[in-house]
Structure formats: structure tokens, C-alpha cells
Amino acid sequence: MGEQLSLEIGAKLFAYAAMVVAVGCAVVLTLARADPTNEMRPYELSRATIRLARVAGAVGVFALLVRAIGHAGAVAGPANAWSLETLRLVIVESRWGGGWRWQIALAGVVAVIGWRVRPTRGIAVFAVAVAGWCIVTPWLGHGASSLWQRATHALHLGVTGAWLGTVMVLAVCLTGTDVRERIEDAGRVIERFSPWALLSAGVAGVSGGVLAWTYVGSVEALVGTRYGQLLVAKLVSVVAIASCGFVNWQRARRGEVPSARLVRIEAGLAVVALAVTAALTETEHP
Amino acid sequence: MTRKAVGWLAVVAMVSASSVAFAHMALSKSMPAANAVVSTRPATIQIWFTQAPDKAVSRLTLIGPSGEVKLGALTAAADKSIAAPVEGGTPDGAYKVAWQAAGDDGHVQKGEFAFSVRQSR
């Protein structure tokens, strides 16, 4: 049972990370394309981002399939998790089958469009597919109970992706030996991204706060239950991420080059926050 | 300002009203009741939940003094319950009902409860 839970949490971490990175790819491609000064020729950064978008879509499909198998294992036991009959039961016959089908399909669409998108075209279609992926993700799990919860979760996922996903994409694109051509463009993208990051982080904080209060409901439950404690851990990691972002924002405001090291730390903390979120969604709330 | 305040009030009211309703699905009652001692043979095992269970992933098992007791086809009703007719024999003794179901969020819940049969002679 413990192994199965670990598998589900691990698969969720990859599925969430893939979706968040896909949102970040859409933001980076959009910001890199819409250069009002026309000083920027962001082809290297955009190409690196497109490669990442393809990986995100493929990882998303794989992680969602593993999650579906994990769900099948919870229904029919680990020994029957791989049987087509059980998978059919979960993905086709169960009430949440639509959620599974849509998520897997849209992650697949993101992966396929990732192969077609170019630095100067196809970005809007890619962004729409990614937005669809965010919308259908809450059709399973804690957010599936009502329409307003689905909408709030989808908004939370979208803005979290626009904030942390963009940071993760920039961190990956600025890692490696052959990044010289991307650094200058990334600096311009970060500069343009700052106000959007503030807005996204703000909306993520409000929507996350609303959802947290809905599930926890009291300060006692926040400190006295496993769900509440995980939520506090998530909050701590998000505050740490926001602090890194704030330092970089201050640097950008002073006209200094944003610190790539800080972006990488921020991205690492974002992975921690996603891991805590994956564990949170597998934990019964008070 | 007033419009803003009304907006915030609406959000708070919406969240407060909904916070009660979003717990995981849980067992609310059963027939026979948990730990009950029944004097007549139970014709059906029925369990009610706090949310409508999905029949596709629901399971019911009855274990008696001589092992598993045969149950008929499982049905799900509009009153948020699942039920199965008892087709096997139920002599006096202790019984355990194991159930599995999932509600709105898809999380598979499992549980069990016991009851005893003491038929009058």
C-alpha cells in the first residue's frame, strides 16, 4: 500500500511538473515573441523552450498513464493494476473516466503541438492546448466535487504555472554549457516577466488561500492534521520561492542583470513545492 | 468601496458555505448496522455514504464463520447507497462486511464493519 502511494505521489509530481513547465513554455514563447523594441531575436531561447515543451508533453502523457495504472491498482489491487479490463473500468466506465481521458489527450496534444510550434508561429495554439490541460486536471481528485472548485483549481494551476513554470523553464534554458546566446534574451524575458510574475504569484496566493481554507477550515486543523502540516510545508516553500523572486525583481528594477543562480534555486524550490502538492493531493483533508 | 466589500463578502460566504460539503466520501450508515446483533437472516447488505458512490469501482464482501458468503449483483441507488443481496447461508456467528467505494473525487475508500447473527429458535 505504501509503495502504491509512493508511486501515485511520484507520478503526480511528474504530471504536475510537466503541466506547470508546459504553461511556463507558453509564457516564455509568448514573451520572447512579443518584443516591442524588436531588439531581441530570441530564437535560441525559444528553440530551447520548444524542446522543453515537447519533453513536458511526453512526460505528462507518461506520468498520467502511470497515475491511471495507480488508480486501477487502488480499485482492483496491485496485481490487477496492469490488466486492460481494470484500466478500462477506471478510464472508460468510472465516473471520473472523462477526467482521465481528457487529461491524457490534452497532454498528448501539447506534446504533438510541441513538435509543430516554431519561435514565430503556432504559439497561440500551443497556449490554448496548455490552458485546456490546466482546465481538465481538477476533474479528478479534491477539486472534482463542484464546478466552482474545478474553476478555482484550474485558475490556481494556470497562474502557478505562469509563475513557477516560467521560472523552471528559464532555469533549465540557462543551464548547460552552450547558453551564451540565450542569456541576454533570457534577461529581457525576465525583465518583461517580472510584472506578470507578481500578478501570477498574487492570484496563485489568493486562489491557494481560498482552497486551503475550504479544505482545512480552522487553525487547529492546519497544525494538528497531516494535511494541514503538509499545507504549511507548501506555504514555507512558496514563501522561499517568492523571496528569491523578490530579490531578482529588485535587481531588475535597479537595472542589474537578474541572477541565473537565484533563478535555478527558485526552480529547485518550485520542484519541492510541487512534490509537497503531490503528497497533499493524496492526503485526506480534515 | 461598497461594491468591493460586497464582492469579498460573497467570496467569504461562498467559501464558508462550501467548506462543510467537501470532505471525502465516508460511510454514513449500514444495514445491518455496525456491531449489531440481528435475530433474522439479513436478506441484503446495504451501505449508505455521504456522497454518491460510483458503482463501477464499488465492492462488497461478506465474510462469515465458515468463510466468504455469496452475494448477488451489486447495485447502486440514488440514495447514495450500494447494496447486494445475500445469496449464501448465514448461520449464527460473527460476520464482517468489507466495502470499497469512491465518491466525487475518485479517491478509493475501503473499510469494514462487523455484525453478528443470533437467530431465535
As a whole number, mean pLDDT of residues B108-117 equals 94
Task: Say if strands B27-31 and B44-49 run parallel, antiparallel, or are unpaired.
Answer: antiparallel
Of the given ranges (A2-6, B67-71, B90-94), which has the lowest mean pLDDT? A2-6
Q: Which residues contact B57 (CB under 8 A, 6 or more apart)?
A: A75, A89, A90, A94, B100, B101, B102, B108
CA-to-CA distance for B114 and B37, rounded, in angstroms? Answer: 9
Convert the pLDDT of each residue in B14-50 to its tens digit: 333 333 334 578 899 999 999 999 999 999 999 999 9
Convert the pLDDT of each residue in A73-114 to its tens digit: 888 988 888 899 999 999 999 988 889 999 999 999 999 998
- CB contact (8 A) between residue A75 and residue B106: no
CA-to-CA distance for A122 and A263, rounded, in angstroms? Answer: 27
- For residue A89, the distance in angstroms to the closest alpha carbon of chain B comes to 7
* Cβ contacts of B9 on chain A, cutoff 8 Å: none
Q: Which of A145, A213, A286 sits opposite B15 (nearest CB)?
A: A213
- Given a contact cutoff of 8 angstroms between Cβ atoms, the answer to whether A234 and A278 are in contact is no
Residue type, A142: H
CA-to-CA distance for A140 and B57, rounded, in angstroms? Answer: 15
Residue B115, helix vs strand vs coil: strand
Q: Which residues contact A191 (CB under 8 A, 6 or more apart)?
A: A252, A258
pLDDT category at A27 given cuts 50, 70, 90 is very high
- Given a contact cutoff of 8 angstroms between Cβ atoms, the answer to whether B86 and B42 are in contact is yes
Q: What are the grid coordinates assigned to A121, written together?
A: 508561429
Convert the pLDDT of each residue in A226-248 to its tens digit: 999 999 999 999 999 989 888 88
| DSSP codes, B57-98 | G-EEEEEETTEEEPB---EEETTTEEEEEB-S---SEEEEEE
* Cβ contacts of B76 on chain A, cutoff 8 Å: none
For residue A58, pLDDT beyond 50: yes
CA-to-CA distance for B21 and B11, rounded, in angstroms? Answer: 16
Q: Which residue has the cell 501539447?
A: A110
- For residue B99, the distance in angstroms to the closest alpha carbon of chain A comes to 11
- CB contact (8 A) between residue B21 and residue A75: no
Angle, CA A125 vertex, CA A25 and CA A186 arms, to 5°: 25
Give the sheet arrangement for strand B75-77, strand by strand. Answer: B27-31, B44-49, B81-85, B75-77
Angle, CA A30 vertex, CA A27 and CA A35 arms, to 5°: 130
Residue A125, helix vs strand vs coil: helix
Which pLDDT does position A163 carry in this prediction?
92
Closest Cα in chain A to B59: A75
Going by the DSSP 8-state scheme, the letter that residue B22 receives in this structure is T
- CB contact (8 A) between residue B106 and residue A141: yes
- Given a contact cutoff of 8 angstroms between Cβ atoms, the answer to whether A140 and A99 are in contact is yes
- For residue A146, the distance in angstroms to the closest alpha carbon of chain B comes to 9
List B residues 40-99 in contact with A (Cβ-Cβ < 8 A).
Answer: 54, 56-57
- For residue B47, the distance in angstroms to the closest alpha carbon of chain A comes to 18
Q: What are the grid coordinates assigned to A82, written together?
A: 496492469
CA-to-CA distance for A164 and A146, rounded, in angstroms? Answer: 26
Convert the pLDDT of each residue in A124-172 to its tens digit: 999 999 999 999 999 888 778 788 889 999 999 999 999 999 989 988 8
- For residue A106, the distance in angstroms to the closest alpha carbon of chain B comes to 20
- CB contact (8 A) between residue B11 and residue A210: yes
Q: What are the grid coordinates assigned to A154, written together?
A: 484550474
Q: Chain A: which residues have CB within 8 Å of chain B?
A: 71, 74-75, 89-90, 93-96, 99, 140-146, 148-149, 210, 213-215, 217, 284-286
CA-to-CA distance for A86 and A225, rounded, in angstroms? Answer: 33
CA-to-CA distance for B2 and B11, rounded, in angstroms? Answer: 14
- CB contact (8 A) between residue A210 and residue B105: no
Angle, CA A47 vertex, CA A43 and CA A51 arms, to 5°: 175
* Cβ contacts of B14 on chain A, cutoff 8 Å: 148
CA nearest neighbour of A43 among A22, A28, A54: A28
A-B contacts at Cβ under 8 angstroms: 61
CA-to-CA distance for A15 and A115, rounded, in angstroms? Answer: 19
Q: What is the mean pLDDT of chain A?
A: 86
As a whole number, mean pLDDT of residues B99-108 equals 88
Angle, CA B40 vertex, CA B36 and CA B43 arms, to 5°: 95
Give φ, ψ of B60 to 5 degrees: -135, 135
Put simply, whether B7 touches A (Cβ < 8 Å) is no
Which pLDDT does position B8 carry in this prediction?
46
Q: Which of A74, A95, A215 sits opposite B54 (nearest CB)?
A: A95
Put simply, whether B23 touches A (Cβ < 8 Å) is yes
CA-to-CA distance for A93 and A81, rounded, in angstroms? Answer: 15
- CB contact (8 A) between residue B108 and residue A215: no
